[in-house]
């Protein structure tokens, strides 16, 4: 049964995930990650790992679901940043 507290939790989860969606879509469309901090997204992944653990301990599904969603978005972003840096490094060495 959905209590008002659970509904608020799911709405907050959706809003949290939605906050990163525009950035993720931009990365996907344009493959542009030059001005994005990898450290920020590593911190987000660590934080989401801790929130997932906390949510599991408390059996708080809105928290678990939103944290998993944010963890996945952060993982994708870090992957793209890393791949783009590798590609740029390869292009830099080809020029020499």
pLDDT tens readout for residues 24-82: 899 999 988 888 888 989 999 999 999 999 999 999 988 999 999 999 999 999 999 99
Assign residue 60 a region: left if phi > 0, alpha if psi is -120 to 50, beta otherwise?
beta
Contact indicator for 84, 26 with CB cutoff of 8 Å: no
Instruction: Please list the alpha-helical segments (H only) found in the chain.
Output: 4-30, 38-58, 61-95
- Tell me which residue range forms the domain holding 56: 36-83
Query: For residue 64, is it within any domain?
Result: yes
Predicted structure pTM score: 0.79
Domain count for the chain:
1
- Token readout for 56 is 């599991």
Is the pLDDT confidence value at 96 over 60? Answer: no
Query: For residue 19, is it within any domain?
Result: no
Predicted confidence band at 95 (pLDDT cuts at 50, 70, 90)?
low
């Amino acid at each position: 049964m959905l209590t008002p507290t659970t509904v608020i939790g799911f709405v907050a989860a959706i809003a949290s995930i939605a906050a990163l969606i525009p950035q993720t879509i931009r990365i996907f469309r344009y493959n542009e990650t030059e001005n994005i901090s990898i450290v920020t997204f590593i911190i987000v992944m660590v934080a989401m790992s801790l929130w997932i653990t906390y949510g599991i301990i408390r059996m708080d599904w809105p928290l678990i679901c939103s944290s998993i969603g944010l963890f996945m978005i952060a993982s994708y972003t870090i992957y793209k940043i890393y791949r783009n840096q590798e590609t740029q490094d390869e292009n830099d060495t080809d020029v020499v």
